[in-house]
Chain A
Amino acid sequence: MLYPNLSDQELVAIYIKGNESALAELIKRHKSKIFTSIYLLVKDHDLAEDIFQDTFVKVINTLRAGKYNEEGKFLPWVMRIAHNLVIDYFRKDKRTPIINTPEGFDIFEVLPFYEENIEDKMLKMNSHSELRKLITKLPDEQREVLIMRHYADLSFKEIADITDVSINTALGRMRYALNNLRKMMQVKELPVRL
């Protein structure tokens, strides 16, 4: 039995009391945004599946331990868990692609180095997958803010707090991310209205 009319907070409360179908509804409600965010961060489908599972295992354990107190903010809370697991993975794997870019990053400086190997061509199935690829080409700081704001539903203030920057810096990174995406879509002749 599902509960489409209940709030996330109500579903969490029901789940903690032992109703398993409340968890199914929460997953159904948020799985796309969470999974897409993870995928855009790790750029690997199988790894995204693993981290998605690990995220909800941690969510379940935390809820059962009575440590959840983010009233009404279930999705941002889950996204923070997912984000931390992604960071942990790259720390352990020591493959973190640290890219320090100036705020005035110009995407056209990167485009000539855009790899077009066979695998890339095979993956170029449609405009949607192409846009996902373009997002993964954004500088880390821009991609991170875009994911946190657009898919994790965090406010710019919350993003600023998490990333330890000013709100204006968070806004600026988002603005560069959207503008750079638009430029890349123009270069790749992707329709803006997908």
Chain B
Amino acid sequence: MIQTFTPNDLLRHLYTEDNPIESYQIEHELAHNETMTDDFNHLSCIKSALNKILMDPSDDSVQYILEYSRITA
């Protein structure tokens, strides 16, 4: 039986929201389908880039919150 996967299936796999059976099937397909592998790699690269642009609030903001918590305890 030929298993077909939609772009949404690929996205759910990227964010590990598929179940173990679906995940196994997609991994199997990725190992044999070059086009699908390219698509998945593109999505993975963007996902990875999104992890690298995190910003931190200022130390003042964090201190304000901790101070608020302390004085209102």
Contact = CB atoms under 8 A, between A and B. Distances in A.
Interface of A: 18, 20, 23-24, 27, 31-33, 35-36, 39, 48-49, 52-53, 56-57, 60, 64, 128-129, 131-132, 135, 146, 149-151, 155-156, 168, 171-172, 174-175, 178, 181-182, 185, 192-194
A171 B8 contact: yes
B53 interface: yes
Contacts, number: 93
Interface string B1-31: 0000001100110010100000000000000
Contacts of A131: 49-50, 53
Interface string B49-61: 1101111111011
A53 B61 CA distance: 6
Contacts of A18: 73
A171 B45 CA distance: 18
Contact of B56 (A31, A155, A171): A31
Contact of B72 (A24, A32, A60, A149): A60
B11 A23 contact: no
Contacts of A194: 48-49, 52-53
A124 to B, nearest CB: 14
- Majority-rule SS of B interface residues: helix
B11 A174 contact: yes
Contacts of A64: 72
Given A27-B62, A35-B56, 10 more contacts: A20-B69, A27-B65, A33-B54, A35-B57, A56-B68, A128-B52, A131-B49, A135-B53, A193-B48, A194-B52
A60 B69 contact: yes
Given A35-B57, A53-B65, A156-B17, A168 B49 contact: no
A122 B48 CA distance: 26
A60 B69 CA distance: 7
A57 B17 CA distance: 32
Contacts of A31: 56-57, 62
